[in-house]
Structure 1
């Protein structure tokens, strides 16, 4: 077996830092498919009013007519792939009324605790919400900590925190089912 002639440098790892692994990408598609199922439960009028791509609206309307379990599963997978191109915040804003204000405030408190206390709270959150992937949650929290440590702008810190909140909200929506 041939050895690599040079050692890895910090630049090699920094170029990979922001990218998600294939496993994380697949799990994200599965989360989006589960959210897509919940979007499909909306009324046809609400689906048509979604500010998303026309293909996604058609796929959401089509799934309502599908009764076969396997065909429905494939359609959910397709919806998950179509939702990759959409803004998570917009999609979650249509699903949060199902949670209510009390639940949203509770999730905000979870996010604050995760940022403040780290792993013990992540473990508690994982026990409470069974759809949680500890690694992904930890990565989101670490991004917030990294932005704070490098004295990033308020907008960058807020963007990282929003990504963490969106993930927590997705997990809560999926786990409630």
Structure 2
């Protein structure tokens, strides 16, 4: 299979409709559908429920979890690609793009919170006021206590237990 993402492969399939299709192009399209099927199977059930999938496709997705052998899974993924041909690819692509954008936004939010945690540990009380200004609902006493404990852990070379607790507090305060 190619190294392209299912999004790029799906875009290639939906673009070429009028021109004659070579055997190589058919294979590329089949691999793209198979990769998209694998991406859908790898998603959480909540994400998967958003896709407009037929009953056959849903049954194929559920069957995947019961297959243990490598060769059986490979053949089943070919079947998934075959079933994907009958699906509404434009609607699936739209939902796939939406899910990917949500993941990107969530990742960016987590990175921002990680930077806050690191800044709070590094700068201590100097960073607390800007944090409180951005997140006024934070428990100030717990925040300061966790910062002190995390700094002490870092100085003593201990595992970052309080840094994790601090991140959890920051994440919960931000509502993620």
TM-score (norm 1): 0.42
Between Structure 1 and Structure 2, whose CA radius of gyration is higher?
2
Higher RCO (CA-CA < 8 Å; seq separation 6+)? 1
